[in-house]
A and B are shown apart, each in its own frame.
Chain A
Amino acid sequence: MSSKQVSYGEEMRTVWAIAVTVLFFGASFGLLARAAGLGVLAPLVMSATTFAGSAQFAAASILGTSGAVAAAIAAAVLLNVRYVPISISVASLFRGPRLRRLAESQLIVDESWALSSRGGGRFDRGLLIRAGLILYACWVGGTAVGVVGGSALGNPKDLGLDGAFPALFLALLVPQLVDARRRAAAFLGGAIALVLIPFTPPGVPIVAASAACLLGLRARS
């Protein structure tokens, strides 16, 4: 495999860099949810069960501005539909009884999934689980800090942390572009997402981009 080899130490340093970022965003979610009138317990339960930042931010802000339950649910669910194709891509990593696979699969989140990606459709199970556990702790812990008064941490946007996530995904994408088919599929997926952003609710562009995978249908002997 021609994707570059990354050392265990470098992998874990990246996990911790992302973990700090996730901690800040967890705190800002807690803060926003509290300000939106969701109380203390509900944001914590949401972070512990949903564990997906963008959907939680969307639900909290819609509840805070309009109180529209159906709209909040629809937005958050649409944002998380991407976990269907994402979980299919790593399905083979999960073994054992159904209940155990159900529990472990909850550690799948954009960042743990992306970090564990090795290119060529292969994923590192150990890294996905380790990163997932660390990020889960940071997300729930950050939410707790936020709901009890995380304004002291500052706005994650002032720290440029919203620019760190796309950079991480780009850095993990580049080593995977090893052949013409993958480059074409990635380009097409990015283009589909870009074109749809202005016209669809958030979440839809990523799910629709999965259609670019159909390039993989072209027979290979």
Chain B
Amino acid sequence: MTVWPVVLVVGVATVAFKSAGPVLLGRRSLPPALAGVVGLLGPVLLAALVVTQTVGGDNRLVLDARLAGVGAAAIAIAMRAPLPAVVVVAAAATALVRLIV
């Protein structure tokens, strides 16, 4: 069985990663210089997730229907559509373009 070592090691590593901040730092307040850095984690990681989930592939950039989904989402966001609508519009546009192309 080659499966279980993978399940075990990946599971333990992920539990450790997810608990790193809450267990090691907890509510301890950070030094001001570091707080400025941590405060930017939100926008920075969200931007990186947008990019990797839109054009990320297996060691290459992949331009596919996801781009249309994110483009449609951008328009919906600019029109101040509510969040659930943005998600639905993106899925619909992605599916539509995939169907046609």
Number of B interface residues at 8 Å Cβ cutoff, please give it: 78
How distant is the Cα of A212 from the Cα of B56 in the complex, in angstroms?
19
A18-B87, A67-B2, A87-B19 as given contacts; A206 in contact with B69, CB under 8 Å? no
User: Nearest Cβ in chain B — how far from A38, in angstroms?
Assistant: 5
B21 pairs with A90, CB closer than 8 A: yes
Q: Which residue of B lies closest to A218 (CB)?
A: B36
How distant is the Cα of A122 from the Cα of B50 in the complex, in angstroms?
20
Q: Which residue of B lies closest to A109 (CB)?
A: B18
- Candidates B42, B69, B72, B98; contact of A121 at CB < 8 Å: B42
Residue B7 lies at the interface, judged by CB distance under 8 Å to chain A: yes
**Chain B residues in 8 Å Cβ range of A218:** 36
A121-B38, A167-B90 as given contacts; A63 in contact with B44, CB under 8 Å? no
A166 pairs with B2, CB closer than 8 A: no
B15 pairs with A106, CB closer than 8 A: yes
- Candidates A55, A89, A181, A217; contact of B21 at CB < 8 Å: A89
B residues 68-98 in Cβ contact with A at 8 Å? 68-70, 72-74, 76-77, 82-84, 86-96, 98
- Candidates B14, B27, B44, B73; contact of A171 at CB < 8 Å: B73
B87 pairs with A14, CB closer than 8 A: yes
B residues 1-47 in Cβ contact with A at 8 Å? 2-7, 9-11, 13-15, 17-27, 29, 33, 35-47
User: Nearest Cβ in chain B — how far from A117, in angstroms?
Assistant: 5
B50 pairs with A173, CB closer than 8 A: yes
A87 pairs with B87, CB closer than 8 A: no
User: Nearest Cβ in chain A — how far from B9, in angstroms?
Assistant: 5
How distant is the Cα of A55 from the Cα of B22 in the complex, in angstroms?
21
How distant is the Cα of A11 from the Cα of B68 in the complex, in angstroms?
25
B→A interface (CB under 8 Å) = 2-7, 9-11, 13-15, 17-27, 29, 33, 35-61, 65-66, 68-70, 72-74, 76-77, 82-84, 86-96, 98-99
| A–B Cβ pairs within 8 angstroms, 8 of them | A6-B83, A10-B82, A102-B23, A104-B22, A110-B49, A164-B88, A197-B59, A202-B52
A→B interface (CB under 8 Å) = 6, 10-11, 13-14, 16-18, 21, 37-39, 42, 45-46, 49-52, 55-56, 59, 63, 67, 69, 72-73, 76-77, 80-95, 98, 101-102, 104-106, 108, 110, 114, 117, 119-121, 123, 157-174, 176-177, 181-182, 185-190, 192-194, 197-202, 205-206, 209-210, 212-220
